[in-house]
A and B are shown apart, each in its own frame.
Chain A
Amino acid sequence: TLGKKIKENKMSNLVEEYFEAHSSSKVLTSDRTLQKLQKRRLNQQTLHDLLKKAPLAYAAEIKELNQQHESLFSKWMLQLHLGFNIVLYGLGSKRDLLEKFRTSMLQDSVHLVVNGYFPSITVRSILNSITEEVLEHIGTFRSPLDQLEFIVKRFKEDSSLELYVLIHNLDSQMLRGERSQQILAQLSSLPSIYLIASIDHINAPLMWDQAKLSLYNWLWYETTTFSPYVEETSYENSLLIQQSGSLALSSLTHVLRSLTLNARGIFRLLAQYQLENKDNPSYPGLSFQDFYQQCREAFLVNSDLTLRAQLTEFRDHKLIRTKRGADGVEYLLIPVDDSTLTDFLEKEDEDA
């Protein structure tokens, strides 16, 4: 009973801590900002260079840790073949470890590496690479579900097909959605697909419910490596780094999600128009007047002024760019490459 009491105490402490942290809406922090700091903001490249100069601490110990994990490789292989899938957790990047696993164990078998941390990755691209490169099927599918069905069928028919799938950061922004996880889980439940994945986020297990967990059939392995997340964080747009110009799909969806329904509709309209004209090299963009007319017809704005306000907001987030044409008319463009835009629209359709 003593242990129980202690546990209870701990529990109530945790609860109290939560309410303590969230009790007052007033925040007591100083008002200093980075602007006032006498320092230029670093950009991605200089940051990388600087970090290269800083020596990695405790290299020997980290190496030892890695060796410990590497001794498990053959065991993993056995367990993968017995129908389990493996998930790695723990502090530190597990990229090199998985890479090593790949080079040492999977040299002569068909395998697929998915870089989950890559901000423009989608489930569709994973499925595409399976159908196109592994199954050598040419053709398109209406929906990811159809594609999945096709894959399942092929793998069930042909028992000689085997595929190892390595996913770095299964819990990344793009893959953590319910539907993507559902599809990946179903994929991993196929007996001839062996999945080995890594997770980093503290709340990553929240994305799996009972059904998905049983499909995944995870075996958990703690692989704390302490190695820095070089690749993984290079896409994470930190506050402290100067933003690079191009927009990524993830940030695009992120910003759009926080907008009102009408604002999203406006952006969508523009995106669709731009995609329709993507083959036209001389397309200058949509003029403001035309755009206003279209938005009005779709009941998205009711006055010239609201549309201008909305566009200003887009411009602040670098979602659109305006250009003055030869005739002095304002033209609107989305400074994102077409494939990202297509992906974005597709994703919007799915969510809707």
Chain B
Amino acid sequence: QQIQEDLSKQLFDNLVSFLRRSHSEFQEKTTEWTCRMKSKEIPTAALVLGVNVTDHDLTFRSLSEVLQNNITPYIALLEAKDCPGIKNLMQKLMGQLMNCYVDVDSLEDEDYVQVSQNRVRCSMTSLINWYKSVTKKTDSETPRKKRTSSSRHWQSPPVVVIFRDMESFTTKVLQDFIVISSQRIHELPLVLIFGIATSPMIIHSLLPHSVSSLLCIELFQSISSKDHLSTLIDKLLLTAQFPFKLGEKVLQVLINIFLYHDFSIQNFIKGFQLCIVEHFYSQPLSVLCCRLVDAKKRVDSLSHNQCENIRRLPSFRRYVESQVSEKQIALLTTDSYLKEIIQKLLEDLHVYHENYVSVLRCLHVFTSSLPKYPLGKQIRELHCACLEDQVWETEEYESSLQLARMLNKSDLVTMLQQCVEIFVSSSGKEFDKTVEKLKEFLTQFQKLEAEAFQEQDVSVSSQKELQKKTDLYHLQKTLLELKESRRSKKLTKFEMLRFEVVDYIDSLVRNYLVPADHKTLHEIVYFNTASVLREHLNAAPRIALHTALNNPYWYLKNQALKSDGGTISNKAPDICIAYKLHLECGRLINLVDWLEAFSTVVMAVEGPNADAASSDQVDDIIHARFIRAVSELELLGFIKPSKQKTDHVARLTWGGC
């Protein structure tokens, strides 16, 4: 658990710093612009942030931090849910501004405490008075104070108001606020920032012309969340830094949730966290999932039981089977020998990861420039393809190699250079040779340039030959010859070289991009139970209800409940029978008929042993059971009481469910 916390913390720090960095540029632009603006209209920045509302929190927080450090101490962040009316908005605004001020200067003036407690009387005028007094104060303060504040802020710093989610504000509140503040803009330098999730059109649809003409809007675009995802995957998954890895299916699920549901980075991270938790919770060998040095230590201290666990791993069994028989016996019986081997295997795994990443990047350089992207445009697609199966056996890989063989020279050279860079920067030791080889390719290409002219000459001369002959018979003959020669003509040196390069890359791929499943002990670092993830993150409550009602055998393993196809046995729980009967009805259900059908079904079960004397009693009980089933269905939302006809209920679902 300790490791896991460490790991997730590490991960989080990494993420946050990354997000900060990606936002910083964007923020700088905004801040710069805030400094510049000074005009009669209210300067307004519209930030188009994309639909992933959940990720914006961090953006705004760091934005206000940056603003606070560079420009102004007066920042208020307003959320739509706090501002149902203009009164609440003003209250919130004043409260935040005054608190901001106190925060920044850590002033313990009693005035402010009093004012902030007295929030009922919040109006524009009081706001302006407050602002005046504050600015005056900063003007007439002690020299020390003045110096600090004027060096960081200007003489009359603007008041920045951030509207976090523009779309969910009430139009009226927003309009009123803008109109009111625009009238006092001379006394109170206000800057508005709108966070927009959809498109900038929303400003014009929310605000009428008379109001939007009071604003001086500038648009800022943030990076799309898809780009964020690619960088995230790049930083998180394609490094050897983190010992924990995701299996192909899990990654696929996470990416699918991201792309098809919400575009939310936060949810992706949440899924990743869940994977970590799940992995360390369920897999007893996950203690070994840490840095190589630590892992080696931990291997030494493994108990006998844990060794047994390792022996039980399918990938380890495969490994054992491939060994000679004495070794097999040693592996299966002696713990100390096993530990030795495990250390070696872990090291292998580690080296494999390091090599994998750089070769993957290299391959990506090649495939990402091909037309139609047979192996995908993004590196994550390539990564998935490599994890899924042996990539060189797929059709896509075949076609991409074929396309690569037709590349022209300048592209090929730049690609090779990129590959060299990748290998040089990678930490794996095995790549010295590779780098050398690639460099050799490069020099050969340079040599080729000289030869290329020669080749051109040849072709030109043959062309000339063609022009010389005018005789029809000769022409035909030479044409045939030319064709012949072309067919049998040896490949040019460039082509030869190109083939060589491609083949070399191919061999690299074959050597290093073996899918992780084929590695021994991959269970320790790879989390591969996608079903868990899907269940807990992307649950389908309706499907669960449907199966439970339609096919109770799925949950209650009783032979009496077993039935085939759409039918349901009459011994099923009451609610299932009632549900099944209600499925047969249309939009409205007559309660009396429903009750009768229900009692028929239930009586059929009890019929034989129910005697006539107590039939009234039985009837009552069935009635009660029916009532219970119906009210349960009502609770579940399948039906609701209807006023359309007496004693009827309306169905709220249609079809099977």
A226-282 residues at the B interface, CB under 8 angstroms:
226, 228-229, 232-233, 236, 238-241
Chain A residues in 8 Å Cβ range of B651: 21
B1-38 residues at the A interface, CB under 8 angstroms:
1, 8
B635:A200 contact, CB within 8 angstroms? yes
On whether A229 and B541 interact (CB within 8 A), knowing A37-B592, A51-B624, the answer reads no
Chain A residues in 8 Å Cβ range of B654: 17-18, 20-22
Bound CA span A91–B264, Å: 30
A226:B631 contact, CB within 8 angstroms? no
Chain B residues in 8 Å Cβ range of A145: 82
B473 within 8 A of A: no
Partner of B634, one of A18, A84, A214, A236: A236
Partner of A78, one of B267, B277, B645, B656: B277
On whether A224 and B544 interact (CB within 8 A), knowing A33-B592, A33-B647, the answer reads yes
**How many A-B Cβ pairs are below 8 Å?**
195
B237 within 8 A of A: no
Interface size of B by CB at 8 A reads 77
Chain A residues in 8 Å Cβ range of B262: 210
On whether A239 and B655 interact (CB within 8 A), knowing A47-B624, A54-B625, A91-B544, the answer reads no
Of chain B, the residue at the smallest CB distance from A203 is: B637
A27:B544 contact, CB within 8 angstroms? no
A226:B556 contact, CB within 8 angstroms? yes
Chain B residues in 8 Å Cβ range of A27: 586-588, 644-645, 648
B628 within 8 A of A: yes
B250-305 residues at the A interface, CB under 8 angstroms:
262, 264, 266-267, 270, 273-274, 277, 281
Of chain B, the residue at the smallest CB distance from A47 is: B624
B54:A199 contact, CB within 8 angstroms? no
B273:A82 contact, CB within 8 angstroms? yes
A217 within 8 A of B: yes
Minimum C-beta distance from A133 to chain B (A): 26
Chain A 83-97 interface mask (CB, 8 Å, partner B; 1/0): 010000111100000
B548 within 8 A of A: yes
B635:A21 contact, CB within 8 angstroms? no
Bound CA span A88–B536, Å: 10
Most buried by B among A78, A90, A222: A222
Minimum C-beta distance from B15 to chain A (A): 14
Partner of A236, one of B544, B631, B648, B656: B631
A50:B274 contact, CB within 8 angstroms? no
Of chain A, the residue at the smallest CB distance from B657 is: A202
On whether A233 and B592 interact (CB within 8 A), knowing A202-B653, A220-B535, the answer reads no
B649 within 8 A of A: yes
B621 within 8 A of A: yes
Minimum C-beta distance from B84 to chain A (A): 10
Of A55-63, A120-128, A313-321, the segment with at least 4 beta carbons within 8 Å of chain B is A55-63
Q: Given A50-B621, A241-B627, 16 more contacts at CB 8 Å?
A: A21-B654, A27-B586, A29-B645, A36-B592, A37-B592, A47-B627, A84-B274, A90-B548, A91-B549, A199-B541, A210-B53, A214-B54, A224-B548, A226-B556, A238-B630, A240-B630
For the complex of A and B, 10 pairs with smallest distance between CB atoms: A220-B539, A17-B655, A214-B54, A91-B548, A50-B624, A61-B556, A89-B541, A21-B654, A233-B631, A201-B637
- A–B pairs, 13, beta carbons within 8 Å: A13-B655, A32-B647, A39-B623, A42-B620, A47-B627, A82-B277, A90-B544, A210-B53, A211-B53, A219-B536, A221-B535, A232-B635, A236-B635
